[in-house]
């Protein structure tokens, strides 16, 4: 609904919402560790591929970015970013059914893209 009726203002996740999304990503091995990128000062970004997770997350995010802090041998989740825009992708980027769904809704909905962030 935010896409259809919103003005492009971002949605900020609650700590509980952020933790639920991160825990689901971990449970479903959704973090693509080969995309881990150093941002300096022991901070990193990593892509999460939600296409093989729960129905809600794969349809809400597809792929998104988590921000992590590396401390004492562990990655601690500190942030989240997604740009929700119903953009079509080249073949092979998304699973075929996800790309078909994205293109269908992009065709029938006239909306405004927005960011989803934590914090």
d(CA 50, CA 30) in angstroms, rounded, equals: 6
Range of the domain at 49: 2-118
User: Is the CB of residue 63 less than 8 Å from the CB of residue 48?
Assistant: yes
pLDDT higher for 97 or 22?
A: 22
Q: Work out how many domains the chain is built from and give that number.
A: 1
CA of residue 1 relative to chain centroid, distance: 17
d(CA 50, CA 84) in angstroms, rounded, equals: 14
What is the value of pTM for the model shown? 0.84
* pLDDT-based confidence at residue 5 (cuts at 50, 70, 90): confident
Specify burial of residue 119 (Cβ count, 10 A radius: 0-12, 13-18, 19+): exposed
pLDDT digits (tens, 9 = 90+) for 79-110: 999 998 767 677 767 676 666 776 676 677 77
pLDDT higher for 66 or 4?
A: 66
CB atoms < 10 A from the CB of 52, how many? 11
Tokens in use for 72? 């004492």
Residue 88's domain is classified under what CATH number?
3.30.450
């Amino acid at each position: 609904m935010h896409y259809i009726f919103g003005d492009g203002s971002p949605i900020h996740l609650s700590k509980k919402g952020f933790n639920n999304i991160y825990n689901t990503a971990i449970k479903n091995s959704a973090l693509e560790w080969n995309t881990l990128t150093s941002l300096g000062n022991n901070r990193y970004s990593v892509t999460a591929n939600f296409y093989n997770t729960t129905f809600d997350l794969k349809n809400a995010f597809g792929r998104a970015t988590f921000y992590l802090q590396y401390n004492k041998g562990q990655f601690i989740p500190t942030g989240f970013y997604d740009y929700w825009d119903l953009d079509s992708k080249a073949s092979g980027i998304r699973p075929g059914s996800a790309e078909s769904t994205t293109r269908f809704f992009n065709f029938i909905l006239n909306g405004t893209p927005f960011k989803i962030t934590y914090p």
